């Protein structure tokens, strides 16, 4: 967290940006560093942000606090265990510029995508620390899109530790709340959007970038933003941001129902990502259990714990592990998050119309030129039956998928026919079957085309020139973009792996099926290597792998001006589903940049 000094009504108030909080009774921190010039802020008029967020009323179409689910805190703790494991595998940290952060993004993203969220990685292209990974934004695709309630937490840690309370606690609580919302699938009165922020510990940079990227119309859609930063402090108290505001009322009502007597989060004022939203005029609130300020005698009498001891004695230290978690406080926080979300965004108890989708069997084999059939079943899972339109995607060249009938009323079924031509390349292909009604559901059917067959030459990699966002690449997708300091081989975007000047690893992967009927498969890519290293020792490397097999290794010793096209024979992998990975690794000093563009995997 960055300590920063504000002047409010002629008084000096020391506050810290990041995941912590300092209680009203705590003494100001002594001699904090000055505010960085790039991050200066005007004095906040906090009363001016108490904008209306009306409580639920009979007939309002919203649920009451008591209708919210009880979030399983054990599942939240399981997420924390995985975040701790990620840090352990990456030098004990999940700092925004490291692999630990990117692995954290990948973990959260995979859970959300599997649950049906619309998930976006947003690279922070300005204002963030060098090499910082992306923000992760997830939206539940139901409810009034003009009314958005946003819930956020920073996902990065400091470099000194794994950051399990600061701020794995907020991140894991939001993840499990999001997964519970998807599982319950209630009718929605408004949209719910979740944000996991990068580079908070360096100055709220990720959330600043997100808010500044919104148009005025998009900002206006966000009716309130709720922030959760350090919600499991071992000696914690119960603090609410802007506790007297309308935005805070659902949160306060839940903790009041537990008899907790929460207090204003004065320690956290201006120190976490809610401040980015607050500066844009968006109502904000949130929970916190405290950081390195000390619990007062009165607070210890009210909440328990130890007076005159920090709320979190492991704040910004290596001991901020899963052993630093207050499970009771975490449970009360995550249940309050769910209560707030349900009251603000979930509709009445009348279930939404919804359905399920399945194929039987889930896989089929066919000779080239033949066809295979299966059945698609639907069922009404809530509300009334509805019309469901059926479609399929992901079919390779020479394969068509049809449905009879092409739309059904939920509860009815359809016959799916998958037809091939004699030129269809043998191989295994995952087809996505989609049912579209008031909601959309998908399921996977795995098609295997048998025999030697023929081969239609094709280019298998998708978005190999990186001009179309980051999909379907996985891994450190923040490396993809139109970055200042390097240039593309063609177009405007490329993947910049490495270039940090300290120990770091970047990876980019894509999975493809190499058709079995082809004689040859050739990988080509353009690579530019520049380095500050000297001599003939390979300190920094870039490897190309298929699965766990390294096909080639290049290093700082291969640096040259401009791009060089590289070629690899992937013919040994014909007929297989493979994962192609580019991995750049730097040592502790002197940068080497491995700039990748225009990758292609051609069969013939």
Kindly list the catalytic residues. 200
- Please answer whether residues 339 and 254 qualify as being in contact, where contact means their C-beta atoms are separated by less than 8 angstroms: yes
- Please answer whether residues 579 and 547 qualify as being in contact, where contact means their C-beta atoms are separated by less than 8 angstroms: yes
Sign of CA dihedral 201, 204, 209, 215: positive
Query: How do 504-513 and 474-475 pair as beta strands?
Result: antiparallel
Token pair for 475: 């891994």
Distance CA 269, CA 328 (A): 24
Q: Is 176 helix (H, G, I), strand (E, B) or coil?
A: helix
How do the residues of the chain divide into helix, strand and coil, expressed in percent and rounded to 5?
A: 25, 35, 45
Q: Please tell me the number of Cα atoms within 13 Å of 327 on its side-chain side.
A: 10
- Please answer whether residues 358 and 388 qualify as being in contact, where contact means their C-beta atoms are separated by less than 8 angstroms: no
- Helix runs in 37-168, H state only: 73-89, 99-115
How is 478-526 classified by DSSP, letter by letter? GGEE--TTS--SSSS-EEEEE--SSSEEEEEEEEEE--TT-S-EEEEEE
The total number of residues written for the chain in this structure: 604
Q: Is 139 helix (H, G, I), strand (E, B) or coil?
A: strand
Q: Please tell me the number of Cα atoms within 13 Å of 280 on its side-chain side.
A: 25
Distance CA 327, CA 307 (A): 20
Distance CA 271, CA 32 (A): 13
């Amino acid at each position: 967290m960055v300590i920063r000094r504000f002047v409010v009504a002629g008084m000096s108030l020391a506050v810290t940006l990041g995941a912590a909080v300092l209680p009203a009774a705590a003494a100001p921190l002594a001699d904090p560093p000055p505010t960085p010039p790039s991050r200066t802020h005007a004095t906040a008029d906090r009363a001016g942000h108490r904008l209306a967020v009306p409580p639920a009323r009979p007939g309002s179409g919203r649920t009451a606090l008591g209708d919210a689910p009880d979030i399983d805190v054990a599942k939240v703790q399981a997420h924390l265990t995985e975040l701790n494991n990620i840090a352990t595998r990456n030098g004990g940290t999940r700092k925004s510029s490291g692999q630990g952060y990117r692995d954290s993004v990948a973990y959260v993203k995979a859970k959300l995508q599997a649950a049906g969220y619309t998930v976006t990685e947003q690279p922070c292209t300005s204002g963030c620390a060098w090499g910082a990974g992306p923000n992760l934004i997830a939206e539940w695709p139901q409810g009034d899109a003009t009314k958005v309630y946003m819930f956020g937490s920073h996902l990065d840690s400091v470099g000194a530790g794994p950051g399990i309370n600061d701020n794995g606690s907020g991140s894991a609580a939001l993840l499990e709340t999001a997964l519970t919302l998807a599982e319950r699938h209630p009718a929605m009165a408004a949209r719910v959007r979740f944000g996991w922020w990068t580079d908070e510990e360096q100055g709220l940079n990720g959330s600043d970038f997100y808010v500044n990227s919104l148009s005025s119309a998009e900002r206006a859609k966000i009716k309130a933003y709720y922030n959760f930063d350090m919600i499991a402090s071992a000696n914690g108290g119960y603090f609410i941001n802007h506790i007297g505001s309308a935005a805070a009322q659902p949160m306060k009502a839940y903790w009041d129902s537990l008899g907790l007597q929460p207090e204003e989060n004065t320690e956290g004022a201006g120190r976490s990502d809610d401040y980015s939203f607050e500066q844009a005029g968006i109502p904000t609130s949130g929970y916190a259990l405290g950081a390195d300020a000390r619990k007062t005698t009165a607070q210890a009498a009210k909440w328990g714990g130890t007076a005159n001891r920090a709320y979190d004695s492991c704040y910004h230290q290596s001991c901020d592990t899963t052993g630093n978690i207050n499970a009771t406080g975490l449970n009360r926080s995550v249940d309050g998050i769910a209560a707030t979300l349900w009251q603000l965004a979930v509709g009445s108890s009348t279930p939404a119309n919804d359905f399920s989708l399945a194929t039987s069997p889930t896989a089929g084999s066919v000779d080239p030129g033949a066809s295979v059939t299966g059945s698609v079943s639907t069922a009404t899972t809530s509300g009334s039956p509805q019309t469901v339109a059926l479609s399929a995607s992901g079919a390779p060249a020479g394969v068509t998928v049809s449905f009879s009938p092409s739309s059904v009323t939920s509860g009815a079924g359809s016959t799916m026919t998958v037809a091939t031509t004699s030129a269809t390349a043998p191989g295994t292909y995952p087809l996505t079957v989609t049912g579209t009604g008031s909601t959309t559901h998908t399921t996977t059917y795995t098609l295997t085309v048998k025999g030697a067959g023929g081969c239609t030459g094709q280019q298998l990699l998708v978005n190999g020139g990186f001009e179309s966002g980051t999909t379907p690449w996985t891994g450190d997708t923040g490396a993809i973009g139109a970055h200042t300091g390097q240039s593309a081989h063609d177009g405007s975007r490329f993947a910049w792996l490495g270039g940090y000047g300290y120990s770091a690893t970047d990876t980019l992967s894509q999975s493809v099926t190499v058709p079995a009927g082809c004689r040859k498969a050739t990988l080509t890519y353009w690579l530019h290597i520049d380095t500050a290293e000297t001599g003939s020792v390979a300190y920094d490397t870039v490897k190309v792998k298929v699965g766990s097999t390294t096909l080639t290794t290049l290093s700082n010793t291969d640096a040259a001006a401009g791009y060089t096209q590289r070629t690899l024979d992937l013919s040994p992998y014909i007929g297989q589903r493979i994962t192609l990975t580019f991995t750049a690794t730097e040592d502790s000093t002197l940068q080497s940049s491995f700039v990748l563009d225009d990758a292609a995997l051609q069969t013939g």
